Amino acid sequence: TLNTDRYHRLSDEILEHIVAKLEEIGDEIDMKGFDVEYSQGVMTLSVGEHGTYVINKQPPNHQIWLSSPVSGPQRFDYDEQHKKWFYARYNQTLDEVLNNELSKALGKKVDLLEHFDPQEE
């Protein structure tokens, strides 16, 4: 099971990686209103006229919550077997949802977990 320390480490690690990738993408593209902010476990991504994504840690539940302008609210649990944040209702991982939706919004292929190497003990 995921203890609290490990939850914080794993969730911080993936959120910080996603933020860094989105900042790289923001530098590469020319989109009015594209902006990424990350503070205290909450990431806000504005993709211009496509809306705003909010991803936040939900420590009491050991989850990561996503609010998407495309697919609505989703709650991701850590899947130990696959080492991914997973939403059972839609049978999708956090990166699959974001990659699919952002690829459409930005008109280019997005792979947020490219070069992601989780630091497992």
DSSP line for 18-63: HHHHHHHHHHH---TTEEEEEETTEEEEEEGGG-EEEEEEEGGGTE
Structural domain boundaries, residue 47:
4-104
User: Would residue 113 count as lying in a domain?
Assistant: no
Total domains in the fold of the chain: 1
CATH number of residue 51's parent domain: 3.30.920.10
- Chain-centre distance for alpha carbon 7: 15
- Map residue 74 onto helix, strand or coil: strand
Compute and round to an integer the Cα radius of gyration of the chain: 14
Is-above-0.85 flag for pTM?
yes
pLDDT digits (tens, 9 = 90+) for 63-103: 999 999 999 999 999 999 989 999 999 899 999 999 999 99
